[in-house]
Amino acid sequence: MNINLEIQNNVDLLEFSDEHFIIFTRLFFFIMMKRTKVKELFSSPQLGSDVLVKGWVRTKRGNKNIVFIALNDGSTINNIQVVADTSLFDENLIKDITTGASLAVTGKLVSSQGQGQNIEINASAIELYGKCDAVAYPLQKKGHSMEFLRENAHLRFRTNTFGAVFRIRHSMAFAIHKYFNDKGFFYLHTPIITGSDAEGAGEMFHVTAMDMMKLPYNDDGTVDFSNDFFGKQTNLTVSGQLEGELGALALGEIYTFGPTFRAENSNTPRHLAEFWMIEPEMAFYDITDNMDLAEDFVKYLIRYAFENCREDLEFLNKMIDNGLLERLKFVLENKFVRITYTEAIDILTGSSKEWEYPVKWGNDLQAEHERYLVEVYFRKPVIITDYPREIKAFYMKQNDDGKTVKAMDVLFPGIGEIIGGSQREEIYDKLLSRIRELKLPDKDLWWYLETRKFGTAPHSGFGLGFERFVLFITGMSNIRDVIPFPRTPKNAEF
Ligand code: ATP
Ligand code: MN
């Protein structure tokens, strides 16, 4: 009796029912197939082949017989359309496929009759990785404000706009490394924690391991840092330039590309407290070589974006800024205007415009002045050189006129200052006297000064604010929307 039953059971197991067959083939597909990214499906579609894609549902529509799922996997702005015959799938599975849910889909890649896409997948198996509650999910179909998306920065990558922005941001970072590597520059990692407030900017974040509730004080009431982690006061860097110069004066041409920090309370659409900066530094370059490099570099990046980020740029041009492509092309095709600060002042005083900040030789140029020069007067990117020494940093090379320094600011339409740079003062005595004039702590700068004592050489460099550049290349208008998790006054969420 017992034996008979067992035999009966075994026979049941060996005979595949239809259901078994389906489960088996589904398992087989998921185990054996390699995932294809959606970008690859579109770039080299193998029509008629079985594919496996994984991604997040953007939309689902259809009726009780058939549903159309737009699936996005982040590799491209384009969604792949998945067509599912509902009779092949569990009713609850189909119900759980809502906007935001994560899926794996296998099926045949076929050409599509529908409008808006030329290929689609006829689903044979769907695995639901993660459901997404349609009511609680913050990203609904309607357009959201940039402010709302900033508050949901953990999810905003899933929108078309932020997908495009962060793919472009990546491409630009990659292109920056490629540009310098191809030119023989070396990527130098300068420190993020520094021991000197070298620029005398006084807008640095302090780094300490001391107990803030029990700070030790000196007799004069100042904080005693001698027992702190580094044995002295330290800060987050505002720039890698000074250390970069040390590298350039041995390796020839270097660049840094890292985070920089400024505790300035600038609540503007162009300032972050934590931003990324690219700082090339080159031995044997004068200010003209420096300008040539800056212009060539920026144009290379625009060309790279045109060649590698076309679809994302076109999307942003359509949805965010209708003038974007034209402006990029314009900057690419035109030589940057080069004028001195003194010439800029003459142009500004010669205009009949009413300024909020007075235009006077010796005053720094304000955003309104820079915008007038770039957007109204020249209508081109402008490089301004030879600024008054009083408004620029101590390390800039002094001109023979005794009044100006070999500084250069590159100003862009819509952005204002995008690059700041200079030829550096390489003459020891001149550098030291400037440091003393400004009452900077020359003892802290002994290492910087020594390069001017031992085999000094003319050299130059500049800093490009990465997010300012990403603003320009994407047409976005607020710097908080081109860095994944912005750090600004009173905001360090995520
Ligand atoms: P700004 O006058 O616009 O504040 P800056 O004169 O302080 O700029 P630099 O110290 O010359 O700028 O820094 C080099 C580059 O770094 C700038 O040209 C800009 O692209 C970028 N940058 C400077 N400050 C910020 C900031 N707070 N957030 C983002 N980028 C910045
Ligand atoms: Mn600043």
- Going from the Cα of 266 to the center of ligand 2, the distance in angstroms, rounded, reads 8
Q: Which atom of ligand 1 is nearest to the CA of 264?
A: 27
pLDDT confidence of 142, banded at 50, 70, 90?
confident
CA distance 108 to 61: 20
Q: Is 383's pLDDT higher than 90?
A: yes
Q: How far apart are the first and last CA of the chain?
A: 67
Q: Which atom of ligand 1 is nearest to the CA of 199?
A: 10
**pLDDT, tens digit (0-9, with 9 covering 90-100), for 35-70:** 999 999 999 999 999 999 999 999 999 999 999 999
CA distance 38 to 43: 9
**pLDDT, tens digit (0-9, with 9 covering 90-100), for 403-415:** 999 999 999 988 8
Question: Taking CB atoms and a 6 Å cutoff, what residues make up the pocket around ligand 1?
Answer: 262, 271-272, 275, 277, 417-420, 463, 465, 467-468
DSSP string, 206-248: EE--S-TTS--B-TTSSB--TTSTTSS-EEE-S-SHHHHHHHH
C-alpha distances in Å from residue 123, one per residue of 38, 49, 103, 114, 413: 15, 12, 12, 16, 48
- Going from the Cα of 465 to the center of ligand 1, the distance in angstroms, rounded, reads 6
Judged by DSSP in three states, 22 sits in helix
Cβ atoms 474, 168 nearer than 8 A: yes
User: What does pTM read for this prediction?
Assistant: 0.92
pLDDT confidence of 201, banded at 50, 70, 90?
low
Where do we find the tokens 């860095």?
483
CA distance 312 to 163: 8
